[in-house]
Amino acid sequence: MHTDCRQVPLEPTISHVKNNSMEGINRREFLNKMGLATTGMLSVVIVPNNMLSTNHSLKKGRTDPSDIYEFFPEDNGKALVNPDMGWTMHFYSNLLSNYGSKLAPSDTLDDFPGLSTVYLRIPWAFVQPEENQYTWEILDTPAQRWIEKGKKVAFRITATENWMHQGTPQWVFDAGAKYYKAHDYIEPDYDDPVFVEKVEKFVAKMAEKYDENPNVAFVDVGHYGMWGEGHTIVSTPVHGKSWGIKTQKKHIDIYCRHFKKTLLCISDDYAGAYTPGKRFPIMDYAFSRGVTMRDDSILVQKAPKQWFHSEMAQLFWPSLPVILEHEHYEGSKARGCWNKELLIQSIEDYHASYMSIHTWPRLLLNENEDVISRINRRLGYRLQVTHLVYPKEIKKSESFIIQSVWKNVGVAPCYAGGYPCFTLKDKKGGIVSVLVDPSFNVKKMQPAPPGEAAEYPLTSSFVVAPSFHDIKGLFSRTCLPGTYDLYISVGTLDGTPIFELPYNNSDSHKRYKIGNITLAE
């Protein structure tokens, strides 16, 4: 293939850095930065398209016609559902009634913008009531409702609950596992060899079913601590038993041995529920095993104790998605802890990729639609192509250049990574040419504070239907001349779109029309 795809050898520019900003520069300066000649033969026109900002139309008096198109695609502000990010809906929040019990089987909350994952957190006793009996139906039924809509599922299986007598199945204790009484419930000895053995066998069975499953977003290490949060601050003062980092590591290792492909996470409370700080041995250990963190205590208390571990998240977010869970909404409101601005600030401080819906979902939406919309423009990553320049006409088998500028305006990296792709399609939607630039992985784009995202200029050189010279002739695949629709997408190296982009004119396959291009012989 005679395809040369290369990135412009420029460092990304930050819009707030003096003299390096791409913001506000004139188009001649832009084209110079992008490596295009700016002689009089290259004037610029804007092609009408509802992706374009009306603030960037050409000044009157421009030379026309031109031989290139220039676009300034405008972010439509809509919520995006993409891998490794989004709102997680608590279908089960320990109790089976909270918070999916009021939803009809057909109701998958399609009206909740940015909802990407259904979260199922229930006691071990409900999933394995007998040693050789598994009730996967309790998980798979709600999971499939969302999977059918292209969403993901996440799990936590717990061993201790204070709202029921025991989260651990009785047969585990009948086999000899030790436990301790705390108030009106019992807590297993997390270090007991019988308990550990039974946990490992269960986790192995669970991993057989869910590891490497593309529909699973993440799995919590859940068999340690109250509600699976990794702390015993309620029970230890009662029964006097405490556990240390050796036991915590043991539980992390069990999950890591069996979930080898799925993202795992532990609660920040493994390090201490109310202990602020940046680095903790157990969190360092989890990170070394590729396990991310979640904080389940957002807005449990009033400011300045609205959360404790945003500093801890700084180790994780550059390479692993951070998960946040706000307090049960109604309880947070009743105690005067709920604060919309602080909820947004938690996304910024933790560089969060996931945020919970920890209440009846439409109650949260109806009373917080404004803040949900604002969060959706920052949560996780948000890939933008802010400037495009490409020729009006290209020739079959000849090289041409597309210039583009990219940004990530979210709070986290695009962890999975992906590559820009330009696709030519005919009027019936048939794919005429797929042009991927393998030199630029969007994963490299780092997040920044609002309005300060770095700009990544890219020059991509492509050939449509390259010809091959042989002693017996010239060979080229069939590709008819004509005017085609040009789409942009981000996805795998073979051109499969993976990520939603914040633009209109989608082909329903995550490709977004940016205009037309003429292919000549």
What pLDDT was estimated at residue 54? 31
Q: Where, residue-wise, is CATH 3.20.20.80 in the chain?
A: 86-377
* Distance, CA of 359 to CA of 410 (rounded, Å): 25
Each residue's pLDDT tens digit, 197-256? 999 999 999 999 999 999 999 999 999 999 999 999 999 999 999 999 999 999 999 999
Mean pLDDT in the chain? Answer: 89
Q: Which CATH number is associated with domain 68-78+383-519?
A: 2.60.40.770
* Distance, CA of 168 to CA of 187 (rounded, Å): 8
Each residue's pLDDT tens digit, 460-474? 999 999 999 999 999
Q: What letter would DSSP give residue 497?
A: B
State mean pLDDT over 491-507.
98
Each residue's pLDDT tens digit, 77-89? 999 999 999 999 9
Lowest mean pLDDT among 24-28, 211-215, 303-307, 309-313: 24-28
DSSP helix/strand/coil, 321: coil
Which phi and psi (to 5°) does residue 22 adopt?
Answer: -85, -15
DSSP helix/strand/coil, 402: strand
**This prediction's pTM:** 0.87
CA-angle at 242, arms to 238 and 243, nearest 5°? 155
What pLDDT was estimated at residue 273? 86
Q: Where, residue-wise, is CATH 2.60.40.770 in the chain?
A: 68-78+383-519
CATH 3.20.20.80 fits 86-377, yes or no: yes
Q: How far is CA 206 from the centre of its chain?
A: 24
pLDDT band at 275 (very low <50, low <70, confident <90, very high): confident
* Distance, CA of 205 to CA of 186 (rounded, Å): 25
